[in-house]
Structures are given as structure tokens and as C-alpha cells.
Amino acid sequence: MPRPRSEKARRAVLEAMRTALAEDSYAAVTIEGLAAEAGVSKQTIYRWWPSKAAVLGEALLEGELPGADAVVPMTDDLDTDLRAWLTAMSARQSDGATLEIARALIAVTATDAELGAQLNERLAAPVRDWVTERLAAAIAAGEVRADADADAIADQFIALASYAALLGQPLGEQRVDAIVRMVMRGIAAH
């Protein structure tokens, strides 16, 4: 019988978080600011989210995580695919708003390890899956040694992307080249 939770308010809060991050650092975002921007009372935020970090978390999961859906279409060339993934990540981080979201993700993880680990897992999982699948195909094709460690490669790529976002310095083309070349040689069959 009670009035159900307002979907409009929920969306407005998440949207306000994204808007705020596009203009300011995560640290500069305040619950009061979000409430005002969303046209919502503070209590409504506190009723549904335990912390600013939680709002960010939901906003990220709802919107696009800055990497999760960067999983690029597979071709039949592993080298091309890996290069494409790193390049796509790098390109995304050239966009101010996306970069700020990525840095917010890092900030929240540095503050709230628990939630951070959870969000990072959500981010990492599809990348790991994608690399695993891609690698299996390459192994089957005899291009890659059977003991290549897909998780190690995926985590390494995510770490590189995360560190680049942290510094605000996207990976350059040459660096991408160097990394991919090294990895490809490192896992090449024979």
C-alpha cells in the first residue's frame, strides 16, 4: 500500500552524478549538490544509497563502465584484436567526461576497497572472458602456445588502462605497439 520508490528520482540522482563528474572531480561532488541538481531531497538519497560511493557505483553500472563495453568485435587476428582493445581504451580516455568517470572509479576504490573491488570485478570479468575466448581460438588455430595465461593478459591490460587513467595520460600509439608486440611474441606458438 505504500507509495513505491520513485524511479524518476532514482534516475535523476544517477544522472546528476554523471553530470557532476563531467564537471568536477569525484571528491568535489557532494550529496547535497547531487540532491539539488537532481531536484531531490537529501533523505531520498540516503534512503536508497549508503554512501556517495554507492551512488557512483550504481551510476557506473547503469551507464557504461569505462572499459566493460569497450570489448571490441573479434576478428580472426589476435594481434589486431588486442591492439584494437588498447587503442579503444586509450581513445575513450581522451574524452574528458569518461576520463573523469574512470578516475572517480579509482578514487572510490582507493577509499572504499570493498565496493571498489566489486566494481573492478564487474569491469574485469567481461574483459577476461573476451580475452579467454579470443585466446582459445588462437590456441586452437595453433598460433598461440597452449599454456598462455589469458587472465594475466587481461589483468595486465586493465592495469595499464587504469594507471593511464589515473595519470590522465592515455597510452600513445607507440606504447600500444610495444606492449602488443611483446605480448604476441610472449605467447606465440613454437
Q: What is the DSSP letter of 25?
A: -
Q: Which of 99, 80, 95, 92 is nearest to 177 (CA)?
A: 80
Query: Could you tell me if 128 and 151 are in contact, meaning their C-beta atoms sit under 8 angstroms apart?
Result: yes
Range in contact with a second copy (rule: CB under 8 A) among 7-15, 64-72, 80-88, 153-161: 153-161
**Contact of residue 18 among DNA, a second copy, none (CB under 5-8 Å per partner type):** none
Q: How many CB atoms lie within 10 A of CB 120?
A: 17
- CA distance linking residue 163 with residue 93, whole number of Å: 11
**Contact of residue 30 among DNA, a second copy, none (CB under 5-8 Å per partner type):** DNA
Shortest gap between Cβ of 149 and a second copy (angstroms)?
Answer: 4
Grid cell at residue 68:
566493460
* Residue of 1, 147, 174, 185 that binds DNA (CB under 7 A): 1
**Identity of the residue, 8 or 181, whose beta carbon is nearer to DNA in the bound complex:** 8
Q: Is 48 helix (H, G, I), strand (E, B) or coil?
A: helix
**Contact of residue 118 among a second copy, DNA, none (CB under 5-8 Å per partner type):** none
CA angle 151, 93, 185 (to 5 degrees): 40
**Contact of residue 120 among a second copy, DNA, none (CB under 5-8 Å per partner type):** a second copy
CA torsion sign for 39, 43, 47, 50 is positive
Question: Binding to a second copy by residue 132, rule CB under 8 A?
Answer: no
Query: Could you tell me if 42 and 31 are in contact, meaning their C-beta atoms sit under 8 angstroms apart?
Result: yes
Range in contact with a second copy (rule: CB under 8 A) among 29-37, 58-66, 79-87, 149-157: 149-157
- CA distance linking residue 153 with residue 179, whole number of Å: 11
Residue list 12-31, contact with DNA (CB under 7 A) = 30-31
Range in contact with a second copy (rule: CB under 8 A) among 7-15, 31-39, 126-134, 179-187: 179-187
Range in contact with DNA (rule: CB under 7 A) among 42-50, 89-97, 138-146, 179-187: 42-50
